[in-house]
Amino acid sequence: MKRSTFLPPFLIALCALILFLPFLGHVNLFDWDEINFAECAREMVVSHNYSTVQINFLPFWEKPPLFIWMQAISMNVFDNLEFAARFPNAICGVATLLTVYFLGKRIYDEKFARIWTLVFAGSILPNFYFHSGIIDPWFNLFIFLGIYQFAIYTNDFPSVSTQKFFNKRIFLSSIFIGLAVLTKGPVALLVFGLCFIVWRIWKRKVIMSWQHFFLFAIISLSIAGTWFLALVAQGKGNLVMEFIVYQIRLFSTEDAGHGGSFFYHWIILLAGCFPASIFAIRAIRRKADDTPFELHMLKFMRILFWVVLILFSIVKTKIIHYSSLCYFPLTYLATYSIYKLMSGAFEWKKWMSILLSAIAIIYVAAFSALPFIDYFKKDLIASGSIKDAFAIGNLQVNAHWNGFEWITGIILAIGVLVAFFHLRKKNFNLAIPILFGSVIITTTLAAILFAPRVEEYSQHAAIEYWKSHNDSEFYRESLGYKSYAQYFYGNVQSGIEENPLFLAFKKANKERLTDTTASDTQNEIHIQSEWMLTGIIDHPAYFVSKNSYENVVKESYPNLRKTGEKNGFVFWERVK
């Protein structure tokens, strides 16, 4: 590779590392998802059992192991567990920005590639997710690469239909989709299949040969099925069934209260992918003069965007990152609009200015006002507008604001205003770097300055409690709300399942405490919790509940002693 062609990707990788690596471990992991996956990885390391995903040292059927393996490897390298849990996604950030650069250059040219890289890094949620410890960044990258390789294949069809059984594009596509399934589950195959069906209907002709269909199926299912077959070989086939049932339940019911309207993800993408979302709207239907290959890829990006958006609008469980696969086609469409604006093929519209201004004002106001919440929270609580006791308790936190966090909003405001000045003059070559560059700075500062404060308001009291009660001789559990913090920050170890006192309690109460609609792991955790609460125990047991659940705890478990409360959390103790 010549120096001139090597330099841009090198600089992209270097800038990505500078953006995503620092401060990864400066704030506690967030319940649920971050702590959930990190705890699974920690238990792999502690137990040296890398074949089965565990939570509380019991089989965890909800997720396959690939991402958790990445975190476990990271935890074997780094002492800071928060840093280790988020490190794989920082690397994913580097891989993703390099991916969009090389693909953009392949589809269009160097200019398009650089714009797409800037747009992806300079949009709020796509950037922020690389600072997190959730599964989705790697999951999305694998799916996108699989669909991209298939798009290249269909562009060459039917010339490839008479080729031999092996096809490079199908081979690569199947590997990436198989890795995606091994990362998060069969929804990867579902997304790919829906894109395939929509493209087939659109083209109204064959888009894939049967021999290549079987090649794709054999490779993708072989990769995806390795872990599941390994579980069956170990006599853990029930976990595979529980995994499948769980995936179906996510689509058909609201999981643990994570519901929302049909347009939930539409709003999330519009506001969360600011400012790329504004430009993407321009390209959802509009197109300019392009080569057949460029039009082919544009159609594929639109199909991927709408398939993911509609699919997860239908799914009952609504969580922000469920639609995060849209970040790839959305930023591509935004780049397409910017590329055409710069060439004069598109025009800047008034509605774009209005929408861009409206969303920018909301972000500027939030970033500028949030650091002063302690000045008006007493009046807010006294007004009676907040009815939830736990939320009121959260607001009573004495957060450690530095006093200069508001500058984040000012930087965004200045960036948007300067960008508008150049947009009005149609000087897009200056406006776009300024706009997206200011968002990169804003998002990075928000991850560094705001995330620790948000953590203080939302969960810090409970996390600190578990950190102070992490002795292996203690038992610990949450009451009345779902949490994984007691395991991760309480440094839970295995052993309860072999405790004679627990085994006697389980034998006497298993039938009474078993829920036939729950999984074996859920029932086991429930029985363990009830033993800690009501059984004969050999070590002290500690519990955390929300203040809104305090009366229930007092009535149901009068043997617990309240030891304190802080910021919406109530702490309980049961001495043996």
In which element (H, E) is residue 393 found? helix 389-395
Show the tokens assigned to 314: 């239908």
Nearest to 272 by CA among 132, 127, 442: 127
Q: How far apart are CA 396 and CA 73, in angstroms?
A: 39
- Convert the pLDDT of each residue in 374-433 to its tens digit: 888 888 888 888 889 999 999 999 888 998 999 999 999 999 999 999 998 999 999 999
Instruction: Answer whether residue 565 shows pLDDT above 70.
Output: yes
What's the DSSP call for residue 323?
Answer: G
* Rounded alpha-carbon distances, angstroms, from residue 497 to 56, 75, 224, 364, 538: 10, 25, 31, 52, 14
Produce one character per residue of 49-69: b if its CB has 16 or more CB atoms within 10 Å, e if not: eeebbbbbbbbbbbbbbbbbb
Alpha-carbon span 381 to 393, nearest angstrom: 10
Helix axes 327-343, 292-314, angle to 10 degrees: 140
Report the 10 Å Cβ neighbour count for 287.
16
| Displacement of CA 453 from its chain's centroid (Å) | 20
Q: Where are the domains of the chain?
A: 3-347, 357-458, 463-574
Q: Over the chain, what is the mean pLDDT? A: 92
**CA 40, CA 71: separation in Å to the nearest integer?**
9
Examine the pLDDT at 56 and tell me if it is beyond 80. Answer: yes
Residues 421-461 have pLDDT tens digits of: 999 899 999 999 999 999 999 999 999 999 999 999 999 99
* Cβ neighbours around 551 below 10 Å, total: 9
Query: Residue 315: helix, strand or coil by DSSP?
Result: coil
**Binning pLDDT at 50, 70 and 90, where does residue 251 land?**
low
- Record the pTM: 0.94
164-193 pLDDT per residue, tens = 788 999 999 999 999 999 999 889 999 999
565 forms bridges with which residues in the sheet?
A: 570
Residue 489 pLDDT grade (very low, low, confident, very high; cuts 50, 70, 90):
very high
Residue 230 pLDDT more than 80? no
Q: CA dihedral defined by 396, 26, 116, 196, rounded to 10 degrees?
A: -80
- Kindly write down the DSSP assignment for every residue of 37-103, as one continuous string: HHHHHHHHHHHT--SS-EETTEE--SS-SHHHHHHHHHHHH-S-HHHHHHHHHHHHHHHHHHHHHHH
